[in-house]
């Protein structure tokens, strides 16, 4: 059955390149500014952002211009009856505003823009599931209801070296940042339906790993399968170790290492970033 809905996403989703090609998904990039130099998210070496953070160079990001979304919408409307545009959470970026403005400029009710209320592997997983659903012949209206159900079943759980970067970029309150840094603890945060909160504090990175594994175990009583997507900023070795340990939890756990996160998101998360998107089916 041929899909009748075209899909647009932004560049923070960590989608597999082959998946993007196979499903004809249009990716609209955000930008990263390091010092005086501007980079396009999705085309730059992610290690550049890690180096900049280690050297304490101020990193800024910018959302796409509405014209880029408009071009993507127009391109897909030549092939598909409708277009669904998914963006990272509006609590993290104004990207959705650019997409909605593009829709207004285009003045076409066949375009729908929706907030995934997630980011990185979360937005990526939601997109994969929605595309699969659309491929089964469903329309946008049905897909939006399906997406709402998916959002309720998943969240991002992650850690960072400290909370200063998140506070600096206005993603976390001052008090939480102060507590995290003064006590020299490892903060564990949860991002669910667009809300970011410090959920727990531990004394070592080993305890972070234990906590993440316990979160996976806690979902084993739900549903048919537990979905785990692992992403990181600079904790590649630890991410691989976590993947190996979660893989051994059994067939009900579907774990995947999606790799280093988008430079745009890394700029806000900071060094030490390692986390999982956790959901159940």
pLDDT tens-place string over residues 149-194: 999 999 999 988 766 655 455 554 544 544 445 556 788 889 999 9
Mean pLDDT for all residues in the chain = 90
Instruction: Specify the pLDDT at position 176.
Output: 52
What is the reported pLDDT for 270? 82
1-12 tens-digit pLDDT: 689 999 999 999
pLDDT digits (tens, 9 = 90+) for 54-86: 998 988 899 999 999 999 999 999 999 999 999
Q: Is the separation of the CB atoms in 6 and 26 below 8 Å?
A: yes
Which residue did the predictor score with more confidence, 204 or 130?
130
Contact yes or no for 246/213 (Cβ under 8 A): yes
Mean pLDDT of 97-104: 98
**pLDDT tens-digit profile of 207-250?**
999 999 999 999 998 768 999 999 999 999 999 999 999 999 99
Q: Which residue has the tokens 């290492």?
A: 257
Cα distances (Å, whole numbers) of residue 101 to 70, 74, 87, 141, 152: 9, 14, 13, 21, 27
pLDDT of residue 139: 96
Spatial distance between the Cα atoms of 252 and 223, rounded to a whole number of angstroms: 9
pLDDT of residue 199: 87
Q: What is the pLDDT of residues 8-48, one digit of tens each?
A: 999 999 899 999 999 999 999 999 999 889 999 988 998 99
Predicted local distance difference test score (pLDDT) of residue 279: 96
| Domains along the sequence of the chain with CATH | 5-29+64-152 (3.40.50.10170), 154-280 (3.30.1180.10)
pLDDT at 268 over 90: no
pLDDT tens digits for range 110-148: 999 999 999 989 999 999 999 999 999 999 999 999 999
pLDDT of 186: 82
SS (H, E, C) 6-54: EEEEECCCCCCHHHHHHCCCEEECCEEEECCEEEECCCCCCHHHHHHHH
């Amino acid at each position: 059955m041929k899909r009748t809905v075209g899909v647009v996403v932004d560049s923070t989703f960590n989608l597999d390149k082959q998946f993007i090609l196979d499903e004809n998904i249009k990716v609209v990039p955000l930008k990263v500014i390091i010092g005086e130099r501007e980079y396009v998210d999705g085309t730059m070496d992610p290690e550049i952002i890690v180096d900049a953070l280690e050297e304490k160079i101020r990193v800024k990001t910018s959302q796409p211009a509405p014209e880029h979304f408009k071009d993507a919408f127009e391109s897909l409307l030549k092939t598909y009856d409708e277009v669904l545009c998914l963006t990272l959470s509006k609590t993290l970026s104004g990207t959705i505003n650019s997409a909605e403005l593009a829709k207004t400029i285009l003045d076409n009710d066949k375009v729908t823009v929706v907030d995934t209320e997630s980011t990185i592997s979360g937005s990526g997983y939601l997109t994969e599931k929605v595309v699969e659903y659309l491929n089964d012949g469903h329309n946008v209206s049905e897909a939006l209801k399906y997406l709402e159900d998916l959002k309720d079943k998943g969240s991002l759980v992650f850690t960072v070296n400290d909370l200063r970067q998140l506070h600096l970029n206005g993603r976390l309150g001052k008090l939480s940042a102060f507590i995290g840094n003064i006590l020299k603890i490892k903060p564990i945060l949860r991002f669910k339906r667009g809300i970011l909160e410090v959920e727990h504090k531990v004394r070592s990175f080993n305890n972070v790993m234990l906590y993440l594994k316990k979160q996976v175990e806690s979902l084993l009583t739900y549903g048919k399968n537990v979905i785990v997507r692992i992403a990181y900023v600079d904790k590649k070795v630890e991410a691989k170790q976590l993947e190996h340990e979660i893989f051994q939890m059994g067939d009900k756990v579907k774990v995947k290492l999606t790799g280093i996160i988008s430079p745009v998101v890394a700029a806000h998360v900071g060094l030490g970033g390692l986390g999982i998107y956790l959901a159940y089916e």
